[in-house]
Amino acid sequence: MLTRLLHATWGILATLAGVAAAHLVAALTVPAASPVLVVGSTVIDLTPTPLKTFAIEQFGNADKPILIGSVMVGVLVLAGIAGIIAARRLTAGLLMLLALTVLVGVLAMLRPAAGPLDLLPAVTAAIVGVASLWWLHRLESSGSEDGATGPTRRGVLIAAGVLAVAAAAFGTAGRFISSYRLKATDIDLPTAAKSVKPLPAGLEDKIKGISSFVTPTKDFYRVDTRLTLPIVDADSWTLTIDGDVDEEVTLTLADLYELEVIERDITLTCVSNDVGGPYVGAARWLGVRLTDVLDLAGIDNTKADQIVSTDVEGMTIGTPFSVATDGRDAMIVFGMNGEALPREHGFPVRMVVPGLYGFVSACKWITKITLTTYDEQEVYWTERDWATDAPIKISSRIDTPKALSSTDAGKTFIGGVAWAQGVGIEGVEVSIDGGAWKPAEMGPDAGDDYWRQWFVEWDAKPGQHFLSCRATNKDGDLQSDVRMKTFPEGSSGIQNISVTVA
Ligand SMILES: Nc1nc2c(c(=O)[nH]1)N[C@H]1C(S)=C(S)[C@@H](COP(=O)(O)O)O[C@H]1N2
Ligand SMILES: [Mo]
C-alpha cells in the first residue's frame, strides 16, 4: 500500500512538473494554451446549457476557480494512476502520461483561432512529465536491483524534491509573467467630440447599501467563457469588417479614433441575471458608433440580418442587424468610466449595444465584424440554444435591506435600482408584506439607456417582513410578474425578499 502511494506520488510529481513547465511556456506565449486551462475551457464549451446556467447562478464568479480546481484534481488522479502503472510496466505508465498530453495538445489545437504556438505547452508537458517519471523510476529500480536501499532511496527522494521545487518555481514564474503581461497598458484615449455632462450625484450617500449610480470599474460584473484574459496588444490590434459588405476593411485603433468619438451612459445586463441578481452594471462608455464603422465597409446593399462579432480567440456573438442599426447608440467601445477598457472588460475594444443582453451584443476583445444571416452562421450561444434576439426586460432590484438579513426596528430605507434600457425607467413601486403598491422616490435620470436608483422610507416594526418592488418604463409598461428563468431569453418576475426586524 505504502509503495503504491509512493508510486502514485511519483506520477503526481512528474505531472505537476510537466504542467507547471507548460504553464510557464504558455505564460510566455499563449496563456490560454496552458494544459489545465485548455481542459477547463473544453469543459466549459461542452457543458450543457442547463448545467452552465446552474453553475453561473450558484457559484457566481467562483464558478471558474471551482472548475479549475476540479480539473486539477482529475488530472492528478490520472497522474497517480500512471505512476502506479509505471512501477509495474514503465513503458505503459509513460505511454499513459504521453497520451494525456497528446489529448491536451489536440484540445489546444481544436480551439478556434489556435495557431502553432498553442501546441508548445502540451509538448513541454509531454517532455518534462514523461522524462521526470522515467527519471524517478529509473533511480528507484536501480536501487532495488542492487539491493542497496539506503543511498539510492535517498537519490529518489532527492529527485522527488528537485521536481517539487522545480514545479513550484515554474508555476510561480508562470504566474509572475502572466500578471506582468496582464498589467494594464497605457493608451492615450481620445476625448468625445461633444463632451457629456458629468453624471448627477446618485443616492448612494443617502441610502446606505444601494448600488452606486455609476458602478466602479473594479466592481463591474464580469461574465465570459474565458479562464484567462486574452493579452491583446493595442498597437497591433485590428478590427476587420467583412461578409456581405461593399468592401472589406481593416481598421487600427488609430483609425477608430479618426471617427466621431462619442461617450454614453449605458447599463449593461447579462441574460444570466436572475430576478434580484448581480449581473448588471452601469458605466460611461467611450467609443464610436457601430454604424459609422459599418459605413466604412458599406452596408447599403447588404442582405445581412445578423452581425457576427468574433473575438481574438474565435468566440462569436451574434447581434440582430436591424436592432443594432435602428438608431440606438450601438457602440464600438475603447474607454470605460474615463479610462482605457480594462482587460476583463475587453481591452482594447468591445461592442456595447444598449437594450440587448450582453450575450447577443457586447463582444469583448473584438477583432472582426461579419455581416451575415442567421441561416448562414450560428454563433456560440445560439449553438447552445439561447435566443438570437434578446431585448433586456424591464427589471428592478432591491439592494437594501439584503434578503434574509436582520435590521433594527425603526426608520430605515428600502432602496435599489431599476432598468429598462432603450425606453427608460419612469417609476418604481414597493409592496411591504403583500400590501398595496406604493410609489418609490426616484433618483436622478441619466437617460433611457441607464438605470435609476429608487427608495422608500420604511418604519420597520419587529418581526419577519416580505418586500417586493416593480418598475414601470416610460411607455407605461409594467415589469412582468410572470416568473421566467434566465434561459433562453432572460429572467422575469417580481423579486420578493424576506427580512427580519429585531
Ligand atoms: N469575447 C467575449 N465577449 C463577451 C462574452 C464572452 O464570453 N466572450 N460574454 C458576453 C456576456 S454573456 C456578457 S453579459 C457581457 C459581459 O460583459 P462584462 O464582463 O464586461 O460585464 O460580455 C459579453 N461579451
Ligand atoms: Mo451575459
At 273 the pLDDT is 96
Output the 3-class SS for 295-357.
HHHCCCCCCCCEEEEEECCCCEEEEEHHHHCCCCCCEEEEEECCEECCHHHCCCCEEECCCEC
Where is pLDDT greater, at 457 or 152? 457
**Confidence check: pLDDT of 64 > 90:** no
Q: Is residue 198 part of a domain?
A: no
Q: What is the pLDDT of residue 182?
A: 85
**How big, in percent rounded to 5, are the helix, strand and coil portions of the chain?**
40, 25, 35
**Would 14 be classed as within a structural domain?**
yes
Residues 375 and 415 in one domain: no
Query: Could you tell me the pLDDT band of residue 141, with boundaries at 50, 70 and 90?
Result: confident
Same domain? For 321 and 366 the reply is yes
Smallest CA-to-CA distance from 214 within 168, 275, 268, 273 is with 268
| C-alpha R_g of the chain | 27
Burial of 71 (0-12, 13-18, 19+ CB in 10 A): buried
Here the CATH number for the domain that contains residue 247 is 3.90.420.10
Write down which residue in 359, 384, 409 finishes a domain.
384
Whether residues 250 and 357 fall in one domain: yes
Residues with CB under 6 A from ligand 1: 220-225, 268, 270, 311, 315, 317, 345, 358-359, 362-365
Q: Is residue 208 part of a domain?
A: no
Q: How confident is the model at residue 51 (pLDDT cuts 50, 70, 90)?
A: confident
Q: Is residue 84 part of a domain?
A: yes
Taking the CA of residue 364 as reference, the ligand 1 atom at the shortest distance is 3
Alpha-carbon distance of 56 to 59, in angstroms, equals: 6
- The candidate with the shortest Cα–Cα distance to 43, out of 55, 28, 31, 59, is 55
| Count of the separate structural domains present in the chain | 3
Contact criterion met (CB below 8 Å) for 386 and 374: no
Report CA(119)–ligand 1 centroid distance (Å): 27
Instruction: Name the percent of the chain lying above pLDDT 70.
Output: 98
Identify whether 62 is part of a domain.
yes
Domain that holds residue 425: 395-501
Predicted confidence at residue 144, as pLDDT, reads 56
Q: How confident is the model at residue 187 (pLDDT cuts 50, 70, 90)?
A: confident
User: Residue 152's pLDDT is what?
Assistant: 67
200 domain-assigned: no
Give dist(CA 442, CA 452) in Å, integer.
7
Whole-number pLDDT of residue 59 = 78
For residues 155-180, give the mean pLDDT. 93
Determine the average pLDDT of the residues in 36-42: 93
Report the CATH number at residue 477: 2.60.40.650
Q: Are residues 405 and 365 in the same domain?
A: no
Q: At what angle do helices 120-146 and 150-182 cross, to 10 degrees?
A: 170
Higher pLDDT, 147 or 298: 298
Mutating to test ligand 1, I would choose from 336, 339, 359 the residue with most ligand atoms within 8 A of its C-beta, which is 359
Ligand 1 pocket test target in 224, 225, 268, 381 with most atoms within 8 Å of CB: 224
Distance 223 CA to ligand 2 centre (A): 6
C-alpha grid cell, residue 271: 441574460
Summarised one tens digit per residue, pLDDT across range 381-413 is 999 999 999 999 999 999 999 999 999 999 999
In a domain, 195, yes or no: no
Is there a single domain that holds both residue 435 and residue 455?
Answer: yes
Do 446 and 488 share a structural domain?
yes
Domain boundary among 350, 384, 418: 384
Residues 88 and 7 in one domain: yes
Is 80 exceeded by the pLDDT of residue 145?
no
Average pLDDT over residues 209-224: 97
* Cβ-contact 298, 257 below 8 angstroms: no
Whether 421 is in a domain gets the answer yes
**Of 183, 200, 232, which one is at a domain's C-terminal end?**
183
Residue 236 and residue 172 in one domain: no
Find the mean pLDDT for residues 216-221. Answer: 97
Give the pLDDT of residue 184.
Answer: 67
Regarding whether 329 and 225 lie in a shared domain, the answer is yes
Closest CA to 64 of 90, 35, 44, 39: 44
pTM of the model: 0.91
| Residue 375 DSSP SS3 | coil
pLDDT digits (tens, 9 = 90+) for 425-473: 999 999 999 999 999 999 999 999 999 999 999 999 999 999 999 999 9
Which has the higher per-residue pLDDT, 154 or 119? 119
Q: 99 and 156 share a domain?
A: yes
Q: Place 234 in a pLDDT band, splitting at 50, 70 and 90.
A: very high
With 0-12 CB in 10 A as exposed, 13-18 as middle and 19+ as buried, what is 130?
A: buried
pLDDT at 200: 95
Give yes or no for residue 106 having a pLDDT over 90.
yes
Tell me the Ramachandran region of residue 454: left when phi exceeds 0, alpha when psi lies from -120 to 50, beta otherwise: beta
Distances (CA, A) of 271 to 1, 275, 349, 368: 51, 11, 21, 23
User: pLDDT grade, residue 140 (50/70/90)?
Assistant: confident
Q: Is there a contact between 83 and 6 (Cβ–Cβ < 8 Å)?
A: no
Ligand in nearest proximity to the CA of 353: 1
374 and 225 belong to one structural domain: yes
Q: Over range 128-134, report the average pLDDT.
A: 97
- Would you state the torsion angle of the CA atoms of residues 215, 221, 227, 228, taken in this order, to the nearest 10 degrees? -10
Nearest CA to ligand 1 atom 8: 224
pLDDT at 477 over 80: yes
pLDDT for 335: 97
Q: From the centroid of its chain, how far is CA 11?
A: 33
Query: Reduced to 3 states, what is the DSSP secondary structure of residue 471?
Result: strand
Please say whether the dihedral angle defined by the alpha carbons of residues 32, 33, 37 and 43, taken in this order, is positive or negative: positive
Same domain, 376 and 420: no
